[in-house]
Amino acid sequence: MLGRLTRWLRLLGFDTLYYPDISDSRLLRVAREEERLILTRDTRLIKIKGVKDYLLIKANDSFKQLLEVIDTLKIEEFKPLSRCVKCNGLLGRLLNKSEIKDSVPEFVFLNFNLFLKCSGCGKVYWEGTHPEKFREKLSEVLK
């Protein structure tokens, strides 16, 4: 239900796990063991006995959901481009550009110099990976 919100949160550098299909008991166990806050839209889930650390998301639009999370938790620090949007892995700076010559379009290879690689899935990121629309919205959050 919150796949897009997950992407926004990772884009801003938050360690975010996403389980579109998980049993309640497993979800609660992961949250407890890893000391994670549960973000959910499921009012049934939060009524389960012992569920305390959760945030019930009310907005429908994913960007509004993001603002809801930031406001409610009073988050002021962000680390954009530090996590992989796809798998939550940490991004590391690539020092040797030639390493990724075959994994990005030629135009990108020639026109950008800063590349980051995901330590989890190997996806390569660069300054222009995310469409402008995204970056505009992000700068709204970051200011």
Q: Distance (Å, rounded) from C-alpha 124 to C-alpha 91?
A: 9
| Least separation in angstroms between CB 128 and Zn ion | 18
Using the rule CB under 5 A, is 13 a contact of Zn ion?
Answer: no
121 contacts Zn ion (rule: CB under 5 A)? yes
- Measured from the CB of residue 89, what is the shortest distance to Zn ion in angstroms? 4
CA–CA dist 59, 77 (Å, integer): 22
Q: How far is the CB of 95 from Zn ion (least distance, A)?
A: 19
The smaller minimum CB distance to Zn ion, of residues 38 and 91, is found at: 91
Q: Using the Cα atoms of residue 45, residue 48, residue 51 and residue 56 in order, give the sign of their dihedral.
A: positive
In the window 58-117, what residues touch Zn ion (CB under 5 A)? 84, 86-87, 89
| Beta carbon nearer to Zn ion, 66 or 91 | 91
Q: Which helix (H) or strand (E) holds 42?
A: none
How far CA 77 is from CA of 22, 36, 38, 47, 142, in Å, comes to 30, 18, 20, 31, 9
For Zn ion, the binding residues (CB under 5 A) are 84, 86-87, 89, 118, 120-121, 123
